[in-house]
Chain A
């Protein structure tokens, strides 16, 4: 093995959102580099938001990502309402949570069934999986469709919903239409429960991580559409408006993307962080299923994130049913939010992790500056650290299985690399 150099390369990663590549260099048994390269072209959202009206970011920032547009719309609304000194509570907030549950169900089902599970079962995609196990893929599609049905009814459209506005919604759906939706969600709950049992039986490579964890926290319930504080695993909670004091994005010489650091350290957001920091707020059904699936009070193996996603899907379907049961159409469907000079911060939990928006608005209602910190930028350092550890622990494997393992390591995070508001292209020097 001495003086042996190995290069693992994947020029285009499959089954992730957006486009990226992977490059790992091992020399003399030491992992020299493990880069998740982002070649997704930058789209400059923060720059083009300047000078736009303060009511526009929900529609514009939705276009950052087609898989989690509601997250962008919600964090944007939270931040703009904060800047204007308006707090949304009661039925409008509940409707927002219902819409977001739709995105969680749809995005988690997409990731579990179409993007991630094929890795555990040795298939290139869900279509090939369906050739052998059609009923499994149909179950996933049913679940995904139920999430989309919420998005379509409450949001008006599954991708880039049209019904979301600063202050609430353009129109609130009537009771009868939600009752109909509940009829579609009940079978989806069974499908979600079966999903947990199915994924719990997969084989999980050993990998225990020590990344610090970060998630939104809301005393009122498992944080989805917002919260009062930010919770971390190694330090006290902090306020939403202190986010940029703790999380700083920096350019590091060996990487193709901006890395965010939490008080200077590597950290992780997303399902593992949410579960570990907030799991006691999950429903009894979800907690029971988690225990059956072998999850304790924390989960630090990224390969098991598929189990946590399945648990969160159960929770989101139950939560949607609960919100529908107590639903009274808000009247009016939005709160008037007058523009004022100010700065606002907004957070929410996108299916793949915490999403932060900050806007500076003038009294004329025009945006002076915008900052958006997407989950993948925050998880980038953790993904690369996992890659280093995975490669180091599996050097005995041949190039092909090792490369496959690296791709899975990346897919664990369901990375969303179209959110190129914050990604750089960098030419990597070759020796």
Chain B
């Protein structure tokens, strides 16, 4: 069999999720021996045309050109994996979805009429079918390696879709909400980071987005009891995964 090809594309994003590939310092050269990196602009100026066996896409759709580009990428990719909060939920830039993008542009730019942007920032899956969505802002390195290994082996990745709480318990961390009264979104947030924030005595702020069926209604009174105002509760659910909808239902 030919060496499988890997492509990495970026839309509206910070580069953090694709940088996670290069942050696999111990595995990078081994990975490069197993796949042919055919398109990965951040890392290489050698670019080969598709089709690609596995394609990772970082970033959200915010321009008409990118809405077109993702269709093309889909057509050229056997397996398409959306990586990170931008690609799976619109990212932090989806906060525009709750405001007026023209007004946003006028705050930042002297000549907003030059800006060619959509009124919304949306996930890849809102535009084309995706084979897998990997959560996180940024994604977790170990989860990325599991996804790549799985698709290269032709199987589905084995990743949990429980809450951050389960990872906290597995690590034996003391609950910051119960013990310290620190507001924490762990009970409703998708697992994957390994409970990073509670390990630093910080409440989870939801960068991995909503878990499968979050019980937000049960958590909100606990957040208020922990001292969060109504406005703060509203804002904490409106960050990197605001447009995913999973928390508001």
Seen from chain A, the residues whose Cβ lies within 8 Å of a Cβ on chain B are 12-19, 39-48, 50, 52-53, 56, 59-60, 63-67, 69, 110, 114-115, 118, 124-128, 130, 134, 137-138, 141-142, 144-145, 148, 156-160, 162-163, 165, 169-171, 250-251, 258, 407, 418, 421-422, 424-427
Most chain B CB neighbours (cut-off 10 Å) among A43, A250, A418: A43
Closest Cβ of chain A to B115, distance in Å, is 6
Given A64-B14, A418-B13: A159 in contact with B114 (beta carbons within 8 A): no
B209, CB-defined interface residue at 8 Å = no
**Which chain A residue shows the least CB distance to B86?**
A63
Specify the chain B residue showing the minimal Cβ separation from A163: B200
Task: Given A110-B22, A156-B200, A170-B200, verify A44-B108 contact (CB < 8 Å).
Answer: yes
Bitwise interface map of B from 195 to 213 toward A, beta carbon under 8 Å scored 1, else 0: 0110111100101000000
B190 is an interface residue with CB less than 8 A from chain A:
no
Give chain A residues whose Cβ lies under 8 Å from the Cβ of B116: 425, 427
Q: What distance in Å separates the Cβ of A147 from its nearest Cβ neighbour in chain B? A: 10
Q: How far is the CB of A64 from chain B (nearest CB, A)?
A: 6
**B37, B43, B115, B207: residue with the most chain A Cβ atoms closer than 10 Å:** B43
Name the contact of A48 in the complex, choosing from B20, B45, B95, B199 (C-beta under 8 A).
B95
Nearest Cβ in chain B — how far from A139, in angstroms? 11
Interface residue? B15 (CB, 8 A): yes
Contact assessment for B12 and A41 in the assembled complex, using a CB-CB cutoff below 8 Å: yes
B44 near A15: Cβ-Cβ < 8 Å: yes
Contact B16 A15 (CB under 8 A): no
Closest to A130 in B: B29
Cα–Cα, bound, A63→B105 (Å) = 18
Taken together as a complex, chains A and B put the C-alpha atoms of A12 and B42 apart, in Å, by 10
Nearest chain A CB to B87's CB is how many angstroms away?
Answer: 13
Least CB distance from A339 to B in Å reads 13
Q: Which of B71-79, B123-131, B153-161, B232-240 contacts A (4 or more CB under 8 A)?
A: B232-240
Chain A residues near B178 (CB-CB < 8 A): none
The residue in chain A whose Cβ has the minimal distance to the Cβ of B63 is: A41
The answer on a CB contact under 8 Å between B22 and A159 is: no
In the complex, A148 Cα to B37 Cα: how many Å? 24
| Interface residue ranges of B3-24 to A (CB < 8 Å) | 10-20, 22-23
Do A50 and B108 have beta carbons less than 8 Å apart? no
Select one of A17, A45, A125 contacting B46, CB under 8 A: A125
Residues on the A chain within 8 Å of B32, using CB:
127, 130
Residues in B neighbouring A115, C-beta threshold 8 A: 43
User: Could you tell me the distance in whole angstroms from the C-beta of A71 to the nearest C-beta in chain B?
Assistant: 12
CA of A128 to CA of B62 in the docked complex: distance in angstroms? 34
Please state if B105 and A42 are interface contacts (CB–CB under 8 Å): yes
B114 touching A424, Cβ below 8 Å: yes
Query: In the complex, which of the residues A18, A127, A138, A250 has the most CB atoms of chain B within 10 Å of its own CB atom?
Result: A127
Contact A159 B44 (CB under 8 A): no
Closest-by-CB residue of A relative to B100 is A47
Q: In the bound complex, do residue B108 and residue A63 qualify as a contact, i.e. CB atoms below 8 Å apart? A: no
A41-B117, A48-B92, A69-B14 given; name 15 further pairs at CB < 8 Å: A12-B41, A15-B44, A42-B62, A43-B12, A43-B62, A47-B107, A48-B93, A52-B235, A65-B15, A115-B43, A159-B19, A162-B200, A171-B200, A251-B111, A424-B115
Complex: A130 Cα to B18 Cα, angstroms = 20
CA gap between A422 and B114 in the complex, in Å: 13
Report whether A17 and B107 are in contact in the complex, using a CB–CB cutoff of 8 Å: no
CB-CB under 8 A from A258, the residues of chain B are 109-110
**Is the beta-carbon distance between A47 and B103 smaller than 8 angstroms?**
yes
A-B contact pairs, 29 of them (CB 8 A): A12-B41, A14-B45, A14-B47, A15-B44, A18-B10, A41-B63, A42-B105, A42-B108, A42-B109, A43-B93, A44-B108, A48-B92, A63-B14, A63-B16, A66-B14, A66-B138, A67-B19, A125-B37, A125-B46, A127-B43, A127-B44, A137-B29, A138-B29, A141-B28, A141-B29, A142-B25, A162-B200, A170-B200, A425-B117
Cα A126 to Cα B17 in complex, Å, equals 19
A63 touches B137 (CB 8 A): yes
Q: Which residues of A contact B12 (CB under 8 A)?
A: 40-41, 43
- A residues within 8 A CB of B42? 14-17
A127 x B62 contact (CB < 8 A): no
Q: Is A422 touching B108 in the complex (CB atoms < 8 A)?
A: yes
Instruction: Evaluate contact between A125 and B44: CB separation under 8 angstroms.
Output: yes
Which 9 residue pairs are nearest across A and B when measured between Cβ atoms?
Answer: A66-B16, A125-B44, A14-B45, A124-B46, A47-B104, A170-B202, A47-B107, A41-B12, A145-B25
Determine the distance from Cα of A19 to Cα of B205 in the docked complex, in whole angstroms.
Answer: 29
Given A47-B104, A124-B46: A17 in contact with B15 (beta carbons within 8 A): yes
What distance in Å separates the Cβ of B93 from its nearest Cβ neighbour in chain A? 4
B46 close to A44 (CB less than 8 A): no
Q: Is the CB–CB distance between B43 and A114 below 8 Å?
A: yes
Taking a contact as CB atoms under 8 Å apart, the answer to whether A14 and B44 are in contact is yes
Do B108 and A18 have beta carbons less than 8 Å apart?
no
A159 touches B10 (CB 8 A): no
Chain B nearest CB from A397 CB (Å) reads 18
Measured between beta carbons, the chain B residues less than 8 angstroms from A41 are 11-12, 62-63, 66, 117
Within 8 A of A (CB), among B84-109: 91-93, 95-96, 99, 101, 103-105, 107-109
Do the beta carbons of B110 and A251 come within 8 Å of each other? yes
Of B96, B115, B196, the residue contacting A425 (CB under 8 A) is B115
| Cβ-defined partner of B235 (8 Å) among A56, A127, A160 | A56
In the bound complex, CA of A419 to CA of B180 (Å)? 36
Find the residue from A137, A250, A418 having the highest chain B CB count within 10 A. Answer: A418
A53 touches B232 (CB 8 A): yes
Residue of A nearest to B46 (CB): A124
Q: Which residues of A contact B23 (CB under 8 A)?
A: 144, 148, 158-159
User: B residues within 8 A CB of A110?
Assistant: 19, 22
List residues of chain B with CB within 8 A of the CB of A422.
108
Q: Within 8 Å CB of A251, what residues of B?
A: 109-111
Q: Which of B29, B92, B196, B232 contacts A43 (CB 8 A)?
A: B92
A82 → B minimal CB distance (Å): 22
Is there contact, CB below 8 Å, between A124 and B45?
Answer: yes
A53 and B235 contact, Cβ closer than 8 Å, known pairs A41-B11, A127-B32, A425-B116: yes
